[in-house]
C-alpha cells in the first residue's frame, strides 16, 4: 500500500453520490478552467501552471496527470524542470516570508502579547 494508489480514484463515486450537485459543479469548473474554449493561455502553459500548483499543493494525482498532459501538449523536459524549480522557489519563499510573521509574533510586535 502506498500513499498514492491509482485505485483510490474509485472513491470518487462515493463523493459523487454523496454530494452530486457539488461534484458536478466541480467537474464543470475544472474543465472550464483547464480546457475552456475561450481560454487565452495556451494548453501547454496551462498544464505547466497546473504542474507548478500541484507541486505546491503536493497532490500526487495532479502532479502525475498534469506532467503527462504537459508532455502531450509539447512541453519539453527542460520546461518541466524550470517549472519545478519555479514552484520550489516560491514554496521556499513562502516558508521564509511566513518566518517573518513568526518573528513578529515572537517579538510581540503584532500589538498584543500572548
What DSSP letter does each residue of 96-109 carry, written as one string?
HHHHHHHHHHHHTT
Query: Residues of the chain with pLDDT > 70: what percent?
Result: 93
Higher pLDDT, 50 or 110: 50
Report the mean per-residue pLDDT for the chain.
Answer: 92
pTM for this model (two decimals):
0.82
Give me the pLDDT at residue 114, please: 47
114, 104 in Cβ contact below 8 A?
Answer: no
Pick the CATH number of 41-107 from 3.30.565.10, 3.30.930.10, 1.10.150.650, 1.20.1290.10: 1.20.1290.10
Grouping H, G, I as helix, E, B as strand and the rest as coil, residue 80 is helix
Higher pLDDT, 33 or 110: 33
| Residue 6 binned pLDDT confidence (cut-offs 50, 70, 90) | confident
Query: pLDDT tens across 62-113, in order?
Result: 999 999 999 999 999 999 999 999 999 999 999 999 999 999 999 997 665 5
| Domain spans of the chain, in order of start | 41-107
Q: What is the mean pLDDT of residues 32-39?
A: 95
Q: What angle do CA 30, 75, 80 make, to 5 degrees?
A: 85
Amino acid at each position: 500500500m502506498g500513499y498514492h494508489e491509482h485505485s483510490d480514484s474509485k472513491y470518487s463515486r462515493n463523493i459523487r453520490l454523496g454530494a452530486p450537485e457539488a461534484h458536478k459543479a466541480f467537474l464543470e469548473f475544472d474543465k472550464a478552467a483547464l480546457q475552456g474554449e475561450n481560454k487565452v493561455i495556451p494548453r501547454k502553459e496551462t498544464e505547466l501552471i497546473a504542474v507548478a500548483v500541484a507541486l505546491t499543493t503536493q497532490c500526487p494525482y495532479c502532479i502525475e496527470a498534469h506532467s503527462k498532459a504537459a508532455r502531450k501538449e509539447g512541453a519539453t523536459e527542460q520546461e518541466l524542470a524550470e517549472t519545478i524549480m519555479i514552484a520550489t522557489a516560491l514554496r521556499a519563499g513562502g516558508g521564509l516570508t511566513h518566518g517573518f510573521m513568526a518573528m513578529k509574533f515572537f517579538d510581540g510586535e503584532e500589538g498584543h502579547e500572548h
